[in-house]
């Protein structure tokens, strides 16, 4: 298949086809995760930029939104 897939599958004991399927699945999962994290970062950027006072800034919950499914 490819040198990368061959190297990865050798360590995992999988066939090239199984390793390729794992890579495709992980890619899809990563896209969902990356999209959610990017959206949250942009949300926080907007809240911080809109803060007019130190109190407004202190009210921004930086921990909110980082856990998927929460």
Confidence (pLDDT) at 48: 97
Residue 69 banded pLDDT, cuts 50, 70, 90:
low
3-state secondary structure 2-68: CHHHHHHHHHHCCCHHHHHHHHHHHHHHHHHHHHHHHHHHHHHHHHHHHCCCHHHHHCCCCCCCCCC
Residue 1 has pLDDT above 80, yes or no: no
Q: What is the mean pLDDT of residues 4-19?
A: 87
Distance of CA 38 to the CA centre of its chain: 8
pLDDT tens figures, 12-61: 888 989 988 999 999 999 999 999 999 999 999 999 999 999 999 999 99
Q: How many CB atoms lie within 10 A of CB 57?
A: 12
């Amino acid at each position: 298949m490819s040198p990368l897939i061959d190297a990865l599958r050798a360590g995992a004991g999988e066939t090239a086809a199984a390793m390729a399927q794992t890579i495709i699945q992980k890619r899809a999962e990563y896209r969902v995760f990356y999209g959610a994290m990017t959206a949250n970062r942009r949300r926080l950027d907007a809240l911080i930029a809109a803060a007019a006072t130190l109190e407004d800034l202190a009210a921004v919950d930086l921990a909110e939104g980082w856990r998927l499914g929460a």
